[in-house]
Amino acid sequence: MSRPLRIQYPDAYYHVTCRGNEQRAIFRSPEDRKDFFRLLARSVDIFEVRLLAYALMPNHFHLLACTPKGNLSEFMRHFNISYTGSFNRKYRRSGHLYQGRYKAFLIDADNYLLEVSRYIHLNPLRMKSKEPIEKRWQSLLSDELTSLPGYLNPSYRKAFVQYAAVLDYFGGEGRKASHDYKKFVAEAMEKDLPSPLEKGKGTGIIGKEDFVEEIKQAFGKDKQGKKSAREQPALRELAKSVPPDQLIEEYAQLVKLDREALTTKGKQSTERAMLMEVLHRFCKISQPEIGRLLGGIDYSAVSQARKRLYIKIQNEPEWEKKFNQIQGKLSQMSRLKI
């Protein structure tokens, strides 16, 4: 059986996990976890990866990561070799620490980033235990085995974890955002919600149908099971990232509107909704980031505006034509300036 295709491109989000060989422990002491964190922080820094969440279990670990440089394989290879070497030297052993290669799901961040972060943070509660669930939940809120405590209390934060990308969905990094995220995580525990990873079985992609289809088209294999980036125009488009300020200026010129009219909170127009959509497509930024650029609106307002735009484009041919023309012109302009 062939190995699953590694999908890599700039600013992609992943759920990553590694399991100990033969289900054996990869942490034997608190010092092992300190080594793990030290080497993880170093690898994150070297490969410029954004780590959003983690969970350390006795015989495996989970990571939620974004790769601005599209280098997940290089990052994981370096990190796993580093920790394996450290572990083997300490315990005077040799050979593999992990069971095969790491496993990774590509994530449709706009729709599943929050669910995957919650799944990772609740992993310790899935272990068999005689302790009451409430007691284990209280322990989880302050235990460094996951990044959850840092989301709820700044004093628990680790320098190598970037909390903003998740907390932005709740309005920022303030106390209210932390409180709302805690409620969001607790909800899954209380209702025993299904794992979002089920969504990725068979495809390796946790996402809605349009996202999965876009990725499949960009990374599909040929008859020989290979397809290079040079042969994939869609992949080259995925890899691009235009500076948001540059795109806003170019877009304003194309639609002949002042930048202020497009980016001020409270303004609503089809042109503004189209700006949200092209920022998402060309700049590879999240809906909370788009909201900040357009007057500090909530990510849900961005989502609703984009949905309304899709409906309008589907039902009104003149707007579909206009949107396609704008996309084409922006693509040409950005290709010259990026």
Block residue for tokens 């002042």:
258
Q: What are the angstrom distances between the C-alpha of 140 and each of 64, 133, 144, 147, 173?
A: 18, 10, 8, 10, 20
Same domain flag for 202 and 277: no
- Is 231 part of any domain? no
Average pLDDT value for residue range 228-245: 56
| Least confident piece of the model among 45-49, 155-159, 299-303 | 299-303
Q: Which helix (H) or strand (E) holds 241?
A: none
Same domain flag for 47 and 176: yes
pLDDT bracket for residue 64 (50, 70, 90) = very high
| Least confident piece of the model among 107-116, 142-151, 253-262, 280-289 | 280-289
Same domain flag for 68 and 161: yes
Report which of residues 174 and 115 the model is more confident about. Answer: 115
Nearest to 282 by CA among 319, 321, 249, 320: 249
Phi, psi at 155, each rounded to 5°: -70, -15
- Is 244 part of any domain? yes
3 state DSSP class of 195: coil
What CATH number did the domain enclosing 193 receive? Answer: 3.30.70.1290
The per-residue pLDDT for 13 is 95
Last residue of a domain, one of 192, 207, 222: 207
Beta bridge partners of 64: 15, 53
Same domain flag for 252 and 191: no
The per-residue pLDDT for 143 is 93
Host domain of residue 47: 12-207
Last residue of a domain, one of 160, 187, 207: 207
- Is 306 part of any domain? yes
- Is 224 part of any domain? no
- Is 104 part of any domain? yes
pLDDT bracket for residue 193 (50, 70, 90) = confident
Bridge-based pairing of strands 50-56 and 205-206 is unpaired
The per-residue pLDDT for 48 is 93
Residues above pLDDT 70, as percent of the chain: 91
| Least confident piece of the model among 7-11, 32-36, 38-42 | 7-11
pLDDT bracket for residue 2 (50, 70, 90) = very low
What CATH number did the domain enclosing 252 receive? Answer: 1.10.1750.10
Residue 52 reports pLDDT greater than 90: yes
Same domain flag for 19 and 130: yes
Same domain flag for 16 and 120: yes
Same domain flag for 143 and 280: no
Averaged pLDDT score across all residues of the chain? 87
- Is 103 part of any domain? yes
Residue 230 reports pLDDT greater than 50: no
Same domain flag for 110 and 179: yes
The per-residue pLDDT for 221 is 52
3 state DSSP class of 53: strand
- Is 172 part of any domain? yes
The per-residue pLDDT for 214 is 84
Same domain flag for 136 and 22: yes
The per-residue pLDDT for 335 is 53
The pTM (predicted TM-score) of the whole model is 0.77
Same domain flag for 58 and 123: yes
Same domain flag for 144 and 276: no
- Is 284 part of any domain? yes
Same domain flag for 170 and 298: no
Number of domains in the chain: 2
The per-residue pLDDT for 282 is 82
Average pLDDT value for residue range 184-195: 88
Percent of residues in the chain assigned helix, strand, coil, to nearest 5: 60, 10, 30
User: Which residue spans within 151-263 are E strands per DSSP?
Assistant: 205-206
Distance CA 127, CA 115 (A): 19
